Amino acid sequence: MDLVVALDIGGTLVKGAMVDREGNTLDDFKLGTLIGRGANDFVARLGSYINTLRKNAAAKGDRVLAIGMGVAGKILQKEGKIVFSPNLMPLNNYPLASELQKRTMLPVFMDNDANAFGIGERWKGAGREHENWLGITLGTGVGGVLILNGERWQGDDVGFVGEIGHTIVYPEGPLCNCGKRGCLEALSSATALTRGAKEAIEKGEKETELAEAYERNELNPILIADAAGRGDKLAVRLFERFGHGLGIAISNTFNLLGITTCIIGGGVSAAWPRFIDEVWKTLREVNSMVNFDQVVIKRASLGNRAAVLGAARLAWIELGKGH
């Protein structure tokens, strides 16, 4: 059987699997990223792990043909280089793909983690029956991917694409991690929820069940979602802002591209019932173009397997182009 090694490289963990051409996964694994030890150490460990996988596969008569990976950050896809990744600083400007290729003698294909999510959902998940859609990942930050004519949109290979998280939805809005104001990520991410709760409490909003968690320095999106579910005013307001921001961003994308489907994943999408009504309400308020009968907004279906499957599919697609 022919296989590829698929990797989802995050700040804490590398999740991976061996995946065949049909998307069947075997040998799921997790490795500590341990990026503090430096880029060379990281590639050496990853390379030797992959070489062991490959040896084991060969013993069963299987062949490993390539490595596909999704990495959080600004990526020069064709050069196989991370330009900037806040959680993987030692890999910035490091030729990750070619170094890994040297150690494994396998072709290495990489893309941004949100793109990997999109490719995975398109292949095996909620995006299977949709040719054109906007994908959004709600996590610590907000990632985005555009699937157009069935394939991910790649732009001009400038290092980013589909970065809906840094489109401005409230020009006077809260400060974003990127240094600008009013980005979607500053409203509709885990960071935005906890930061929003913290700021409101510090400004004197004490009648919230979140005050206690704030005192213990334990505010997190799950607590805030639970509180919103019980009707806590601050938590409800934060999720309204969250859904409102998303509604505006989705509406703008629909109008710009003439598409009507949005698929939402990432850890914070688990709080779906807390924000989805506000997304629809906002969309209806601000959008004068779309036919609402055609609009589909749905949850991604692969959970945290999306990026690994997407990385595998990326490798299969690139192999098919004659590498």
Residue with Cβ nearer Zn ion (180 or 233): 180
Does residue 223 touch Zn ion according to CB under 5 A?
no
Does residue 183 touch Zn ion according to CB under 5 A?
yes
From 169-177, 192-200, 202-210, 220-228, give the range in contact with Zn ion by CB under 5 A.
Answer: 169-177
Distance between first and last Cα of the chain: 19
What are the helix (H) ranges across 60-189? 96-104, 113-124
Give the nearest distance from C-beta 179 to Zn ion in angstroms.
7
Does residue 178 touch Zn ion according to CB under 5 A?
yes
Element (H, E) at 6: strand 2-9
Does residue 281 touch Zn ion according to CB under 5 A?
no
Does residue 74 touch Zn ion according to CB under 5 A?
no
Give the nearest distance from C-beta 314 to Zn ion in angstroms.
26
Does residue 187 touch Zn ion according to CB under 5 A?
no
- For residues 185 and 286, give the distance between their C-alpha atoms in angstroms, rounded to a whole number: 19
Asked whether the beta carbons of 38 and 74 are under 8 A apart, the reply is no
The size of the interface with Zn ion (CB under 5 A), counted in residues, is 5
Give the nearest distance from C-beta 178 to Zn ion in angstroms.
3
Element (H, E) at 42: helix 39-59
Q: Burial level of 121, CB count in 10 A (0-12/13-18/19+)?
A: buried
- Residue selected from 21, 45, 103, 166 as contacting Zn ion according to rule CB under 5 A: 166
Written as six digits, the tokens of 45 are 């460990």
Give the nearest distance from C-beta 52 to Zn ion in angstroms.
40
Name the DSSP letter for residue 184: G
Q: Is 181 helix (H, G, I), strand (E, B) or coil?
A: strand
Give the nearest distance from C-beta 166 to Zn ion in angstroms.
4
Does residue 176 touch Zn ion according to CB under 5 A?
yes
Residues that bind Zn ion (CB under 5 A): 166, 176, 178, 180, 183
